[in-house]
Structure 1
Amino acid sequence: MKHQVFDIPVIKVEVAQHEAEVKSCPCCGRLEQAEFPPDVTHHVQYGRRIRALVAYLHTVQRLLSARLVQLLEEWLDAPISEGSIYNIVQESAARLEELREPIQEKLLASPICTPMKRASPSKENGIGSMWPAHRKPRGCFAIPNGGGKR
């Protein structure tokens, strides 16, 4: 006989501190500073995994900013402002927008996909609207326009 218990491991935010050494040249006395890693651009910032989580919970799960602030504080002990959430979501959207056009071009050029066409008026719907999702002919797809607000 076996019993299984499913649980979530303890999740905690890891803080990595980066320090750039400053040294003076023994010959001329000029100060030189080491460089930070390329993705470390601010004194305090959020890493890629927490940024991905914020973008996902806010845009896909539709979690309001105020509730997301509360969730991250209570579950991860990660203080974040609604302004930071807004910035993370906007930056994520901008990065995704860069990918939309190349993906759209590849889909349109694919021999197995054809753009979704307007349905001709029929007795069922009586208008020339797009096919309903459940009645969409095989091989058709729709590409939403980017930049719209929900």
Structure 2
Amino acid sequence: MKLTHKCYGCKESFRKTDMVEIFSASGQTSQWYCPKCANEKHAREAFSDKVCQIFGIKSPGPRIWTERKRLRDTYGYTDNTIIDCLDYIYTVKKMKKLSESLALIKPSMIEEMMNYKKREEFNNNKIIAAMNTEMKEYVVPLPKEKKKRTKK
């Protein structure tokens, strides 16, 4: 029995106990990954799922993966930052084309998205606080129910 396996991602050898087994979508085959490559694979799948969900596509094409790599390498953005920015561009800016949306992700757009999220969070907190004070004013105690007597 082999005590070491090669990582499917980085091709380095690791002890089997330190590796993560990831099954294919069909569940029939599996591949072994080191923890670092396994995290990267999960992040890539989550990114793919979110992009497909936002833009209603079946799967991201090579241009999307190239842009993701460029944004991560050039600016150091995380997948969550890229997804949040794409969501902001799609919902707030109303840019429905994926190619245009990817081209808009720059530090200025990230800053604009962060400011928007802060404003929305601030406004949401104000609304929640107002609702809580209104609810406290209108809370009316319910009348107590009378116990019904049963005949013996």
* TM-score band, normalised by shorter chain: under 0.3
Q: TM-score, normalised by structure 2?
A: 0.27
**Which structure: greater helix fraction?**
2
RCO (CA 8 Å, sep 6+): is it higher in 1 or 2? 1
Q: TM-score, normalised by structure 1?
A: 0.27
